[in-house]
Structures are given as structure tokens and as C-alpha cells.
């Protein structure tokens, strides 16, 4: 799976919140889009990243992502995003994998207690 990660520096302009739904509706029309997620950044713990919002668009493959973003819906979503952020954003392409905690725990070594018994 591949995704477009959008790091938005500032959402403080009142017009941002007014235009955000329009951007979402256009982005949701991008061919090949599987899902999307939005995160509002509460705190940067380390580093010098200036980012108030992260929005991610997920696609089955890099080719599907490129094709979707090149579509008229993808181009219009990009135009809206550029307009509402004034260019204060970063766009990243990322190869995406994920795992759930149940699967992760299957591969963790059991912990040994003081009595030698195993615990998870």
C-alpha cells in the first residue's frame, strides 16, 4: 500500500476551516483512493517540524496513487489544498505497512518471572 502524506503547517486562517470540507469532497473523488485519515497535531515532542495537521490518502500501489493524483479530481484537490494553505505544506509519498497488536504479541518473547514462569 502507498500513501500521500500531507503535512499542513497552519490551520489558523478562518478560511481554512470553511474550505476544508470542499477539499475533502474533492479528494474523496480521486480514482483509486482506498481510505483517508486526518490527524490534528497536539504537540511536537522532538524536532523542528512545523505542522498542525496531517492528512493521508491511501492507495493500493504507487502506480494507483500516481494515476489518481494525475486525474482531474486529484488535480483539483491539489489546487484547493495549495489555495487554502498558501503553499505552507509538505507532501510526501510513503510505502505503507501496518500491523495490529495481536499479531505483534504473537512474535514477542515471553517474559520470565522471578520464579522462572513465562508471562506476556
* Residue 103 belongs to domain with CATH number: 3.30.70.100
> How many domains does one find in the chain?
1
Q: Is the dihedral of CA 19, 25, 29, 32 positive or negative?
A: positive
Residue-range definition of the domain harbouring residue 17: 2-119
For 30-41, give the DSSP string: STTEEEEEEEE-
| The model scores a pTM over 0.75 | yes
pLDDT means over runs of 10, the chain (120 residues):
96 89 96 97 90 97 97 97 93 91 82 64
Number of helices (H) and strands (E) in the chain: give both, helices first. Answer: 4, 6
Q: Which pLDDT value is given to residue 93?
A: 97
Q: Which pLDDT value is given to residue 52?
A: 95
Q: Which pLDDT value is given to residue 70?
A: 98
Q: Which pLDDT value is given to residue 29?
A: 97
Amino acid at each position: 500500500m502507498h500513501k500521500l502524506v500531507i503535512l499542513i503547517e497552519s490551520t489558523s486562517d478562518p478560511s481554512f476551516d470553511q474550505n476544508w470540507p470542499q477539499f475533502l469532497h474533492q479528494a474523496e473523488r480521486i480514482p483509486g483512493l482506498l481510505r483517508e485519515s486526518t490527524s490534528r497535531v497536539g504537540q511536537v515532542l522532538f524536532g523542528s517540524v512545523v505542522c498542525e495537521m496531517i492528512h493521508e490518502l491511501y492507495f493500493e500501489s504507487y502506480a494507483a496513487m500516481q494515476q489518481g493524483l494525475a486525474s482531474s479530481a486529484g488535480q483539483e484537490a491539489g489546487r484547493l489544498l495549495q489555495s487554502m494553505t498558501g503553499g505552507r505544506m509538505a507532501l510526501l509519498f510513503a510505502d505503507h505497512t501496518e500491523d495490529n497488536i495481536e499479531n505483534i504479541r504473537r512474535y514477542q518473547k515471553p517474559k520470565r518471572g522471578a520464579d522462572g514462569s513465562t508471562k506476556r
